[in-house]
Structure formats: C-alpha cells, structure tokens
Structure 1
Amino acid sequence: MSSRKRKLEQNSIWDRTKVENLFSKNEIKSIHIDKLYKYLVRNVKQKSWANMKDYPKAAMKLLNENFEFCTSKVLGAQEAEDGTTKLLVELQDGSQIEEVIMYYDTRNNEKGTGRRRATLCVSCQIGCQMACTFCATGTMGLKGSLTEGEIIEQFVHALDIADISNIVFMGMGEPLNNYNNVKAALKMLTDSRFFALQNSHITLSTVGVIPRIMTFAEDFPKCNLALSLHAPNQELRKRIIPTAKGYKLDKLMNTIKQYQEKTKNAIFIEYLLLHKINDTEKEARELGELLKDIKCTVNLIPWNSIESPSINYKSPLHEDIIKFKEILKEYDIPSTIRQSKGNDIAGACGQLVVDQSKQGKNKKIKIVDIEDLSKK
C-alpha cells in the first residue's frame, strides 16, 4: 500500500537487512552478523556494541560509521492506575508513535498455575490508511511505515521498563500493509539465538488484508492471528470499515478457513461493540451463523469514547454486551469481554492517535491512544 516516502538519514542497528547488505558489499563474513546480534541482545541495556570482543576491525568500523543503536527515543511515559504504561516515541524524522505495556496476572495460587506477564502493544505504521470509522488512528491517515529496526526498537525501549514476554501488533497501522518490515522484525524477535520470544506469544491483528493472510500463515504458522471483524455482514462492514469494499466478507472468511486448515490455530475475532450499530440481537445471531464452523474466540470490545469530534458512536449498554455474549454461547462460540487497560491514560481500544502537528520537544503533545489485548 502506498504512503508518504520517509526521508531517513540514520540506520538502526536493528535493521538486520541493512547490516547484511553492507557486510556483503564489503565482503565481511556473515557469521559476524549473528555474533553482533547475540552480543546486542545479551547486553541490550548497554545500548552499544563498543565493548564487543574479538570482532573484525573492518566490520566494527562499518558499524560505527553507518549505524546507531536506536534511531528513535522515548519522549515520555504515562502510567495508569492499573499499571499500564504508555510510551511516546519520537522517530528520527520527527514522527511520533506510541507503544503500550500491559500487565496481566493469570496466577492461581491454589492450582499453582498461570503467571504474571507483560505484553507489549507495538505500532507498525505512523497512522493508518484503513480509515475505520470507529478508530481514532484512522483519523490520522497514513503518514508512513516503520522500518524493521523501528519496530524492534519499540521492544528495546520497553525492556527498560519490563520483562516483555508477549507482543501484540495492535497499535497504529495495519501490519499486513507493512508486511516485509513486520516479517523481518518478527524473525529477529522470535529467533532462539536472539530475543527468543515464543511464537505462541505473538499476535498479529489485521482488518483482513486477504492477499497477505496466507503469506503470514506460511511464514509464521505458530504465531496467532486476530481478525478485526466488527460486523457480521458485508453491508454493515462496509459502513464502518471502508476497506471492506475491496476485501469482501465471503472471500475473507474463506481465507480465514484456509488459514486455519494450514496452521491448525484458533482465530481471535475482535468485535468492537457500537451502541445500536452492531450490538443488537440481530447482529449477534448473524455473527453466530458466520463463525459457527470456525474455531475461534470472540473478543467483545466495548467501544471507548475518543477525543475526536468526527466520531459519533456511543458505547454499548452493559445489558446488551451480556446478551450478545449469551447469544454467541448458543452457537457454542466462546467469547470474552475485553479487559480494558489504561483507560485513565487514554490507553484503551481504538484510541491511539498522535497529533503530528504538535511535535517538538518544547510543545505540548496531545495524545489519544490504542488497542489492547484481552486475556488469553
């Protein structure tokens, strides 16, 4: 998908593709690339490769002259009452994105099961061109896509605050519209030689970019897929998700079935509940019929108020949420009501947008924010 071409002068050390290309051009053996990243990961809080021992002088010179440990920087952090932490990150071209760290405690002291985990929600684009009518990020439009290094840098920044075990691609942007960079970042993050995150602890959320879904299945069959569905029929989906015109629901659901046959994974279905738009008994039963043959869990997401005058939806009533969930149960479809995180710092579903017109160190930046993940 097209976007404004970003002018970047610095190279992130986490852009492995660029390191590989430069080393190849200068006839540096590829074994030194793996050694570099093993060192960086083990010593990530040093934020430098300067103390790496027994490394070729020519390779070290190339790294020093051409790369930075991070090309982005954290401008500030906000912590919610529930512990959720939102980081405002400035990229090298002055663009700004947000990432959110969420904490979940699934420990059961009696059974001795579960754990307390930190999940990082990352952005993959600056804004988004999918223009979903309920989502604040869509009001930004698409300003540009992140490099593989900028995606990984979000994880590196988060490690200064928490021991991250899970990542969800549910921040700004459509991951499948920046797939090459997302793919490269995922390879680094899940490689057992480097950050070694478990594939099952990675979730990618998409509005439904049909041509890329099976590519994702081929490349990362053990990662999770979340589909932002939000409507049980094509007409309603077109109304609230403009890109549904190009990705029709029948073809999308057929692709989801193919994905499931390939990976054997259950699908996370994200369904944002909008009062009197898609939260009535009619839509619940339509959704039940649509999903009855798909192994999935539906995450019911009550819509959050957003600081945007162009968005006029209302939050669903509690009794309507419960009724919707009960109807899905009639179809033997498991569902959860999303555990909202970070509402008091504008850190909840559909609220991620950074006002790019108010950038700069000495200017007040208005932030409204993000989509978090329900408990798995």
Structure 2
Amino acid sequence: MKHSRNIISKNSTMVLLIAILYISGTLILSGCTHRSSADTGNKKSISVKDALGHPIELDKPVERIVCLYEPALDALYMLKAEAKIVGIFNSIYTSDELYPYYAKLDDRIQQKQLAVPGNNGDGNIESIMMLNPDIVILQAAQEELAAALRSVGVKVYTANVEKYNEVFQTMRDLAVLTGTSERAHDLIAYVEGEYEALKARSSTLQAKKKAYFSWAYGRIFSTAGRNSMMNFCLEIAGVENACPFELDQPNINPETLVGWNPDLIIMWNDSPDEFYKRKELGEVSAVKNKQIYNLLPMFFYNPHTLKSLSTAVSIHNWAYPNPDVDVKHQVELIMLKLYGEKGKAL
C-alpha cells in the first residue's frame, strides 16, 4: 500500500523547453485555464493547502482533473465528482483488485476510455499537459513530479493519507476544489458517527482481544505497527494490536509472532493457509482456534480512505461475533452510503 518515490523519466531537455515557453507566455494550450503569475495577486474564491503545504488558489471549482493517486481517486468517486476526471493511472485498467470495481462506478473506465498519462507513482509531463487539467492530484511522495508540473504552470494538489485525520482532510480539500463540500460534510459526519458507535460498543467489553495484521502477497511476517492507519482501524474495532512497535510496517520473525500469541489474525487479501501450513505457528491461539479472517475484496477495505469504516466494522464483528449481525450486509450498507446509488453495483 506504500508507493515508491517517483522518478521522472522523460527527457529533461524537453521539459525545460516547455517550461521556458510557458514562462515566456508563448505556450498555447487549447482550452487551457491556468493563470499566469501576474494573476496570483488577486484574491481567489477557492483556497486550500496540500499535504506539502503548497497553496492552491482558484477562481472557481475545477472541471478537469488528472488523478494519479488511488485513495484520492476513490475519494472523487465518493464525492460524486467523477465527471470532472479526465486522466487516471494505468493500473486502474490492469489491476484485478481495482478495475472490476472502478469499472462498475464509471462506464468510461469499463470501456477503458479515460486517458492514462501515468501510473500510480509516476507520470508523463507532456501527456498530462495535453489533457489541459485544472489540477493534477498526486501522492505527497511524488515531490519531483509535483515540482516539475508546477514549473510549467500546472496546478498540483498532493495528498497524504497515512493517518485518519489526513484521510478526512484530503476529502475536505478535494470537496472544496470540486465544489462538493456538502457531500463531503455528510460523508465525514456519517463515518465519524459510526466510529463513535463502534467505540461505545467496545467500551462495554470486559476484555479486549488481541489481533495481528498481515500484509498481502505471502508477507505474513510483515505487519502494521502502532503508527499506522491499520492500527487506527484495530483500535476503532475494539481490539488490541498485537504489534507493540511504533513503525508503520515492521517485519518480524515467527518466534515473535508465537510470543505475541494473538487471539485473531487479520489478513490482507491472502489465504489463511499461509499461516496454517507453518508448523511452528501451530500453538498460536488464532491459528489453533482457526480465527483467521480476510479483508477481501481489497477494494472494500482500503484503510487509507473512508472505507476504513468497513475495515473496523468487520474486524469488530469477527472479534466479538453477534449472531444477529450480518457482517457482509453491514459492509454493503457502508458501500451504498459512501458511493450512493452506484454503490449498489459493487
């Protein structure tokens, strides 16, 4: 779920030439809406700061968005601002974990009609500029690409969603930029209300269970530390994170997991057999009692979005089962609330 630092691979001479042309006022892009530096002194009606502290000021909500960061793209669909999207990243079309779901939310994705000027971690500057975006949305780690785009006059919003308050702030900022603040207010109020309800239920527990989380693709000894969004989900769910380390994604060994002896194990898109086949883990309570659960499909449980709610709700009900609660139905209701009518297709 972490993305590597981005590398701009296009010819630097071409980028420099474009920058010089733009700054000199000779770059002409059909339908381009970017303001020159002479206009920046005027007070704008829309103003936000991105995750890196860069101000974005606009006269009106954006109409053309290139989004190269998946949690932000997800937020745009929750805000019902998808009509403004003109460019996405290539793995939306190639990922079995993303394409089937975004295709149900957007016919343009289903038909692979939206332009792909980059991937979820890099971008082609010339291809981005050809789309005449009012704004480009990137992950905060994409500093080099963001700086290069700003140097040729493109507005850039960088997002960081490693903590729950950052998830909410990103949603608020994107709502301001797209003119959908009322929708964002409703969604955030809903999620925060559900968080409080979960906390209230968890506060009545006489003893909390201990949970271990493992990442996908066979990385069963790569977990989530206390300084992570997944730890937030575990806390909201009313369970204790078995991992005491502050690191975001620490790696451990089998002996450490045996020592932690969690009551349940939460997996990210992997088979429980990854644990059951390891003889040295046979005495771990979660393994011995077959208390291993899977956050699948991953699209429903991305903890770096408002879907952290479906993650927390599921973990709570797995840890403290109630025969009157249908976990699958609860997740379906959350999807319907977050995506509106289009959520039914998911």
Tell me, yes or no, whether TM beats 0.5: no
TM-score by length of 2: 0.28
TM-score (norm 1): 0.26
Structure with greater helix percent: 2
**Bigger strand share:** 1
